[in-house]
Amino acid sequence: MVTKRTNLSIIALFLFFLYSVSSAQLTYTLHRETNPTQDQQDAYGRIKTAMDSAVGYYNKYTTIIKNLNVYYNPDVGTADANFNGTIRFGSNRSYMVVHTAMHEIAHTVGIGTSNEYRNLIKDGDFTGKHGTEMLREITSDPGAVLHGDNTHFWPYGLNYAHEVESDNDLINHCKIVNAMYKDMFNEEFYKVCHLRSHESGMCMVSDGSTLKLGICNDSSSLVRLISLNDGNVFRLEFGNRVLDIPNESGSAGVAASLYSWNGGGHQRVIFEFESDNLVRLKMVHSGLYLRADGERIIQDNVYESPQTQYWEVIDGTVGSVVNVNTERQESGKMRIMNNRIVLAVPSFGSPKKQIRITDLSGRLMQSRTVNCGKVILPVDNLAKGVYLLNLYCGKQSACSYFVVR
C-alpha cells in the first residue's frame, strides 16, 4: 500500500464516449417460445430473475466479457452449461436460482469445460497463481488451497445450495472465478484502438454479428485489444463479441465475422508489427492473413494482394483529447488534486453512473455508483502502477489511464 505522499499522474489520457455500446461485460439472451405454455412462462420468469441477479454479480465483481444464450429445456435433469456460452435449465424449479446460475456461468467461461482449466488441475488442486492468491486473500489463510477436479472447484464453487450462507459467498465466487480465468487464459488489457486498412483508409467496424470495413469516426470501429500472453497474440473485441472465422475454416477467402469468445485459434490473431502502428494480422488456426476485400475482411494467403494486408493501429478516440492540466472542470474530464482524482461526471446517459478502477490485469480495485457532478476518488491506497478508470453511463462509457508512482 502507498501513503498520501504517493505521486499520481495521468498518461495517454484519452477520454472517449462509446455510443450504442453496452457497458456490461457479461450479457445474456433468454430464448423463449413464441407462444409459451403456462409452464414455460413460469420457468422463463424464474430463470430471468436468477440470471439477472447472477449477471449483476459477475459484472460488478469480474472483468469477464461474454455473451450467453440461455434456454429452458425440461429434459435437462438440473442445469448445465458449455464453454460456447450456452446455459440450459431443466424443469426442477429449485435450480432456477442465482447461485445455480452463477455456477453455470463459471462453466461458460471455462471452469470445468476447457483444456486450459484442466491443465491447471494437479492432484486434486487448482494450481493457478491468481486463483490461489485470491482464495488466500479472501480467507486470510496463507496456506489455503483451491481444490478441483475435471468439472468443479471448491470452496466458493457454488456446487451445492448449502455453500451459500451470505451475499459474501456469491461475491467471493466471482472474485475467484475472475482470478482463475486470468490463470487459464493469461489475458491482459492492451489498448483500445481502431484498425484501419492501410490501402483503403477504412476501419474494421461492427454491425451486429457482421464485421466489415467502414468509416472510423464512431464507436462501432473501436476495438478492444486483449493480449493473450502468447507472443503478440490478441483477441479483438467489438463490444461483447470478438473477431471470428466462421466454422473455424482454414480456407482462403473466408470472411471474418463476430461471435462470442470461446478461446479457439480461429478467434486468436497474431500481430506482426512492421512499425509501432503498422501491422499484419495472422490468424492462429489457419496461418492466413486478414486483408481488406471491398467491404469485407477475409483471410488469405500471404502472397495474395499483400498491399491489402497492412493495417494501421490508430489510438481509440472518439472526440477530442483531454487536457488534464486545465483548471476548468468540464463535463467528463479528469484532473489530479492532492493525490485524488477529480472527475466531472456528465449529466447524459443513465441517472446513476458506475465508476470502476482496475489494474492492467483486470483486477477490480474500486467500484462506486455516483450521480452527475464532481466526484472525488481517493487513490492513495493503490500500489504503484498503471490503472484503468472506466465511467459507465448506461449505454455510454468513458475510459482513461492514470499512474501511481
Q: In this predicted model, what pLDDT tens digit does every residue of 40-83 receive, in sequence order? A: 999 999 999 999 999 999 999 998 888 899 999 999 999 999 99
Domain, as residue range, for 261 = 188-315
* Residue % of the chain over a pLDDT of 70: 80
Of 18, 2, 98, the residue nearest 385 (C-alpha) = 2
Residue where a domain stops, chosen among 185, 213, 247: 185
73/153 same-domain check? yes
351/311 same-domain check? no
The verdict on residue 197 lying in a domain is yes
Which residue has better confidence, 41 or 401? 41
How high is the pLDDT of residue 15? 35
Residue where a domain stops, chosen among 158, 185, 212: 185
pLDDT at 326 over 80: no
Residue where a domain stops, chosen among 315, 338, 373: 315
Average pLDDT score, the chain: 83
Of 40, 41, 59, 39, the residue nearest 51 (C-alpha) = 59
Q: What is the CATH number of the domain that holds 194?
A: 2.80.10.50
216/146 same-domain check? no
pLDDT (tens digit per residue) in 336-381: 666 677 777 776 556 677 787 876 556 677 888 887 777 888 877 7
143/64 same-domain check? yes
Q: Which three cell numbers stand for residue 263?
A: 478461446
* Residue % of the chain over a pLDDT of 90: 57
pLDDT (tens digit per residue) in 84-124: 899 999 999 999 999 999 999 999 999 999 989 999 999 99
How high is the pLDDT of residue 73? 97
Query: Are 18 and 391 a contacting pair, CB within 8 Å?
Result: no
177/197 same-domain check? no
What pLDDT band is residue 398 in, cutting at 50, 70 and 90?
A: low
How far, in Å, CA of 194 to CA of 104, rounded? 34
Number of domains in the chain: 3
Phi and psi based region of residue 140 (left: phi greater than 0; alpha: psi -120 to 50; beta: remaining)? left
What φ, ψ does residue 135 adopt, rounded to 5°? -60, -45
Query: Which amino acid does the sequence have at 129?
Result: K
Highest-pLDDT range among 16-25, 269-278, 291-300, 310-319: 291-300
55/71 same-domain check? yes
The verdict on residue 235 lying in a domain is yes
Burial of 250 (0-12, 13-18, 19+ CB in 10 A): middle
Q: What is the pTM of this model?
A: 0.60
pLDDT (tens digit per residue) in 250-294: 999 999 999 988 888 999 999 998 887 899 999 999 999 999 999
Query: Which amino acid does the sequence have at 394?
Result: G
How high is the pLDDT of residue 390? 74
How high is the pLDDT of residue 281? 97
Q: What is the CATH number of the domain that holds 370?
A: 2.60.40.3080
Backbone CA torsion sign across 225, 228, 231, 233: negative
The verdict on residue 286 lying in a domain is yes
251/340 same-domain check? no
